[in-house]
Amino acid sequence: FMLATVAPSLGRELVVTRHPWQLTVRALLLAGVTLFGQLALKTMPLAETTALVFVTPLLVALLASPMLGERVSRRAWLATLAGFAGVLLIARPGGAMSGSGVVYALGAALCYALYQIMTRQLAGSEHPLRLLFTTALGGTVAMSFALFTHWDGTLPTASQAVLIASLGLYGGVGHFLLIRAFREAPVSTLSPLLYVQLIWATLLGILVFSHLPDTLALAGMVIIGASGLSLAVGDRRPK
């Protein structure tokens, strides 16, 4: 779709870059987010998986100092410690969560944090549509190998095909808006705003899958969300 709509106007500018390896790694990181996230959802409920993936802003706040040179405040350290306490409430010993599912969800969070850091690094020098296109291209090439290792020849139904295609649309629009946002504000300020997804994940988990998190898991989700939001509030200072 991007080749048909964007390539005619941008031409070689869509792919010509001074940072080919960084763009490749960034694309593979996003593929890792999707892959680890789906592996987690095979064994864990929607709301808890989403909450664990959304320790991402806390990881971003910690990585922003060594990778971006952004100062990590005392508030960020306290929010990070509180957020990981929330993770322990969700993935507590003796709880109902799958151990492998927790590992996959946290793997998705780490990949997503590194993806956001690299987006911030590249957003100032790369065209937004180039960032978006190379992400889609890298994911397409990397995941096409699964055709030879995992596909058994089964084709999706018409309704499944529509849902799969819609994922591409949601992802493309969402990541384009994310890239533009990172051009305007620090990554540590923007990423906690994505916590609205926690609310939707919980509601959809109840409505679609009839799953209500237990009390401790809900407490952990609230703590993770509050920790991330405290970063957003604390870092929005006038320049």
pLDDT tens, residue by residue, 196-206 = 777 888 888 88
Q: Residue 20: what residue type?
A: P
Give residue 65's pLDDT: 77
Distance CA 61, CA 68 (A): 10
Distance CA 129, CA 23 (A): 12
Helix/strand/coil for 119: helix
Give residue 186's pLDDT: 74
Give residue 159's pLDDT: 95
Q: What angle do CA 49, 53, 57 make, to 5 degrees?
A: 150
Give residue 33's pLDDT: 93
Distance CA 209, CA 202 (A): 10
pTM above 0.85, yes or no: no
Distance CA 108, CA 36 (A): 5
| Percent of the residues in the chain that have a pLDDT greater than 70, as a whole number | 91
pLDDT tens, residue by residue, 18-41 = 888 999 999 999 999 999 999 999
Give residue 235's pLDDT: 56
- How long is the chain? 239
Contact by Cβ (8 Å): 67, 117: yes
Phi and psi of 150, rounded to 5°? -125, -20
Give residue 174's pLDDT: 82
Residue 181 CB partners (closer than 8 Å, separation 6+): 190
pLDDT tens, residue by residue, 92-108 = 766 667 788 889 999 99
Give residue 166's pLDDT: 93
Q: How many CB atoms lie within 10 A of CB 216?
A: 13
Give residue 194's pLDDT: 67
Which spans in 6-73 are helix H?
A: 7-10, 20-41, 46-53, 56-68
Give residue 239's pLDDT: 47
Give residue 188's pLDDT: 62
Question: What is each CA distance from 101 to 18, 59, 90, 207, in whole angstroms?
Answer: 38, 19, 12, 22
List average pLDDT for each run of 10 residues in the chain, which is 239 residues long: 78 82 93 93 88 82 78 77 82 72 92 91 84 87 87 91 90 80 73 72 88 84 80 58
Which spans in 42-151 are helix H?
A: 46-53, 56-68, 74-90, 99-123, 128-144, 146-149
Give residue 53's pLDDT: 86
